Amino acid sequence: MLQTTTNLKLKIAAKTHNSSLSFTGLAVPQKLKTNSKQLSFGSKTIDSDSNIVINNTTTVSTSRTNIGKVNELTTNTTSSIIPYNKNVAIATFTITPSTNFKISNPPSVSVSSGNNSNLNLFIEKTPTLNKFNIVCNSSRAIKSRDDVNVDLNYSVARVTTPSTNTIKRLYLGSSTINKEGEERLIKIYGSPSTPFELSVLDSSDNSILTNTNSTFVLPVGVKQSLSQKLNKKGHYFYKQRFPSLPTIRVTKVNGSMAASGATKVIFDSLTDVQVGDEIFLTDANNKFFADGETIKVLTLNPDGDNANECELSKSIIAADNRPVAFKRSTTYKINLETSGTKDSSIASTFPTQTFNQYTGSVIKVIGTAVTGAAINGGGSGAANNQYYGFEHDGKNKQISLIYTLTGKTFTQASNHPVPSDVALTSGNVEFGVSSIRATGTGTTEYKLYILILIDKVGIDDSVITVSLDNIVS
């Protein structure tokens, strides 16, 4: 029996963000058996099996909401005349992904709501790319009152274009260079055969590349470079040697003032030496080394009468004419360029990365002055300064302090001493007060014992203040 009135109404909705969807109704054929043959006139079509073929084209109306937004929705309302109990294609649709997108999951259909009993829907792929048919089979009429809503499900994804001539990652390790110098492995990753130019400069912008084979124009001038390509796997590994801290001045002790140990020492020359420079002595093999701990210049020309004299943070033992060296913190510039592209994780400005090479750090511990009191044999009413040198090796260290106060009868403040009497004044050392105790309150000799545990030595020199004047009077 031929169907002559609309007997299939559907609402087909799809999320169309980053794509567009076009629907076209198809001619749905029906066949009726007859004994007649195709006539040479009239509009009826009779096939070779004596079937009258009637085609009714599905009508489609389209609406879109939230256009251009993530929740964009395209709804196609279809009206069809279909035969019952037959698979028929009622409409065709084309998915057009936006630029740089592609269909990542092929489309499928599912009924989301409404009375869909005895109705089957599925997708049929066509020979045309991204074009599909909606096929249905129903044994009854699906009217507007059935309110059948269908989800057309598919997804699109951004097209990832294979990268060419791209430096994707630069591995340099820690940004801190050991004060004694070190060999550092530089690793470059990216697309196979990507060309690059590597430059390594010191703080004066002179090249220190271990190996060079070219030159390259940098913002600081034409410098030697390593010009290479990544291998077939997209790798290049390079060992760069960094020197020890730069030597500012090599000189000798001038006199015997430090033969048994001294903090104020005269040298042959202190030209270019600055406060904060670290002193290195020579060993039996005439190699420079730090004398057990970091020792730095505190004051140049401390008495105002000799430009070649300085005060050091710790006493040194050095005979006349013993060679010494003064060294200073510095930086190095690493720069990587390519005729291709660099990943956003790699700096696009010069230099690509800066390495720092530090001297050790000195922690100054100040015991504040107490009126009328001498601290550890110092002048009456004067503060007490002590200096401790450390390397940045991250190992736990400790400072053991003993303050002996004389010169008066001492009264200890209520609820003191406490760990908060010891505080960081400047710098970035991390520490804790393990113990703090005192003896001698009410006597003419007061002693304070403090144990400071150093958790982490910062790169800067630091000052810790012990507020003796808050503890005792």
- 3-state SS, residue 400: strand
Q: Tens digit of pLDDT for each residue in 252-297?
A: 999 999 999 999 999 999 999 999 999 999 887 777 766 568 999 9
In three-state secondary structure terms, 145 is helix
Nearby residues of 269 by Cβ (< 8 Å), 6 or more positions away = 249, 251, 308
Q: Which carries the bigger pLDDT value, residue 40 or residue 430?
A: 430
DSSP labels, 78-103: EEE---TTS-EEEEEEEEEEPTTEEE
Count of beta carbons in the 10 Å neighbourhood of residue 69: 9
Q: Are 171 and 179 in contact (CB under 8 A)?
A: no
Q: Average pLDDT for residues 231-253, to the nearest whole number?
A: 96
Question: Given pLDDT bands bounded at 50, 70 and 90, which one contains residue 465?
Answer: very high
Fold classification of 166-244+334-357 is: Immunoglobulin-like (2.60.40)
Across 36-45, 162-171, 455-464, the highest mean pLDDT is recorded for 455-464
**Cβ atoms 261, 315 nearer than 8 A:** yes
Token pair of 244 as six digits: 């020890």
**Which amino acid is located at 335 in the chain?**
N
Per-residue pLDDT tens for 42-65?
456 676 677 788 899 999 999 999
* Cβ neighbours, 10 Å, residue 413: 14
Q: Predicted confidence band at 87 (pLDDT cuts at 50, 70, 90)?
A: very high
Give the pLDDT of residue 281.
92
Find the Cα–Cα–Cα–Cα dihedral 144, 147, 148, 149, rounded to 10°. 120
Query: In the chain, which residues fall in CATH 2.60.40?
Result: 166-244+334-357
Q: What are the tokens at 348?
A: 């696009």
pLDDT above 60 for 215: yes
CATH class of 248-327: mainly beta
Percent of the chain beyond pLDDT 90?
86
Separation of alpha carbons 201 and 319, rounded Å:
38
Per-residue pLDDT, averaged over 410-434, amounts to: 96
Q: Where in the chain is the domain with CATH 2.40.10?
A: 248-327
What's the rounded mean pLDDT across residues 204-219?
Answer: 95
Asked whether the predicted pLDDT for residue 145 surpasses 90, the reply is: yes
CA dist 121 and 110 (Å) reads: 8
Distance in angstroms (rounded) separating the CA atoms of residues 170 and 342? 10
pLDDT attached to residue 249 = 97
Copy the structure tokens of residue 278. 């670290």
Q: What is the pLDDT of residue 53?
A: 82
Average pLDDT, the chain: 92
| CA nearest to 90, candidates 150, 9, 148, 3 | 9
Give the whole-angstrom CA distance, residue 178 versus residue 187.
19
In the chain, the percentage of residues whose pLDDT exceeds 70 is: 95
